[in-house]
Amino acid sequence: MADLMRPDPSLPRFTDVFLPVYADQFLLHALEAGAGDLDEVLSTQPVVEAAGSEAQAIAVVSVLRARGWMVAEITYASGFVELVRLTPSGLTEARRLKAESTRRSSRRSYTRIAVLRWVDDTAPASGSADLQTFVFSPASWFCGGQLAWDEIHEAVQYLREKGLLERYGGRELALTPMGQDCVEAGTTVEVFMQGQQNTGPTQNFFGAVGAVNSTVHGGQVIAGNNATVNSGIDGAALAQLITQLRAATSDLDLTAEEVEAYEADIVRLGSTEDREEQRGIWQSRIAPRLGSGVQAGSALATIIQFGMALFG
């Protein structure tokens, strides 16, 4: 993967908003260069060449060290780290990035919500945004690689067909009221649309385990949210569950390969629109993983009860 960290003409030499992009790229470079060996010492020179200077590389490596994904082997008085090693969690994250980058469902789901959020962030009030400039934003990068134009156009077409996005003359795009609601919901497009399609009577979940404002990993577990109880599952409730499942990853005693599988199951749970498939993923894949490390009264137990309230 020698070309992964090469300077890219479509990526600005350096701005703070691109720190995560460079960090992802270097993690993937480290995975390839070290072949998954945690004892392998790696040079940070590829970051210097890609970001443009040692000072900028310091910022990128600092992000990786702060997240616990790399440790410094040689550091100079200037703060520049010349050599690093991957940590176990860094290796897990690098493998996750590599796996996610090749999953079409993950790329499709990311691109859709990324375009919506970019339009929301870029367009002035009641205005529009030029799609051509999307590729110059960090939003056009996924797991260390830039999205292809066909992926972007496919996402725009889908969003227009679903009534979330509309043309505003030429290349300009604007959010529809429903598109604005999707952005503000903080979910994936797929989960939001599922919630829009649900019909039927509703019931209130209070804490999903009989307690209002139950806290899991600092978040609220459905406190008084409405959940559709027909053939479908409320989109907001599902998004809340997915958030908690991702946050719980570090609490599970999983190998790197198991983490990849667990993350893939979460992506499938949030992206599929088939209700029975969702229940199957929860009951046969995700719930057993949570149950293997659960203790009475623990956060994992709360998540399991929350999931059972949704899927049975």
Task: Name the amino acid, one letter, at 101.
Answer: S
**For the ranges 38-47, 108-117, 147-156, 157-166, which has the lowest average pLDDT?**
38-47
- Cα-based distances in Å from 28 to 5, 32, 97, 135, 172: 9, 6, 7, 21, 34
Q: From CA 101, how far away is CA 194, in angstroms rounded?
A: 24
Question: What is the pLDDT, as a whole number, of residue 298?
Answer: 64
Confidence of residue 46 (pLDDT cuts 50, 70, 90): confident
Question: What is the pLDDT, as a whole number, of residue 151?
Answer: 92
Query: What are the structure tokens assigned to 152, written together?
Result: 């972007």
Every domain of the chain with CATH number 1.10.10.10 lies at 16-99, 103-185
Instruction: Pick from 11-25, 129-143, 223-237 the range whose average pLDDT is largest.
Output: 129-143
Q: From CA 33, how far away is CA 52, in angstroms rounded?
A: 21
Query: What are the structure tokens assigned to 251, written together?
Result: 């609490």
Q: From CA 231, how far away is CA 217, in angstroms rounded?
A: 30
What is the enclosing helix (H) or strand (E) of 88?
helix 88-101
CATH of domain 103-185: 1.10.10.10
Q: From CA 106, how far away is CA 93, in angstroms rounded?
A: 15
User: What integer best gives the mean pLDDT of the chain?
Assistant: 73
Class of the domain covering 16-99? mainly alpha
Summarize the confidence of residues 152-176 as an average pLDDT: 84
Query: What angle (nearest 5°) sits at the alpha carbon of residue 292, between those of residues 289 and 298?
Result: 100
Instruction: Count Cβ neighbours within 10 Å for each residue of 295-305 and write b for 16 or more, e otherwise.
Output: eeeebbbbbbe
Q: Is 266 exposed, middle or buried (0-12, 13-18, 19+ CB in 10 A)?
A: buried
> In this model, does residue 31 exceed pLDDT 70?
yes
Contact 17, 121 (CB under 8 A): no
pLDDT per residue over 78-137, tens digit each? 677 777 778 888 888 888 888 888 888 888 988 999 998 888 888 776 567 777 788 888
- Cα-based distances in Å from 99 to 28, 138, 144, 285, 304: 11, 20, 12, 18, 26
Q: What is the pTM of this model?
A: 0.59
> In this model, does residue 54 exceed pLDDT 50?
yes
Strand extents, DSSP E, 252-304:
none
Question: What is the pLDDT, as a whole number, of residue 111?
Answer: 92
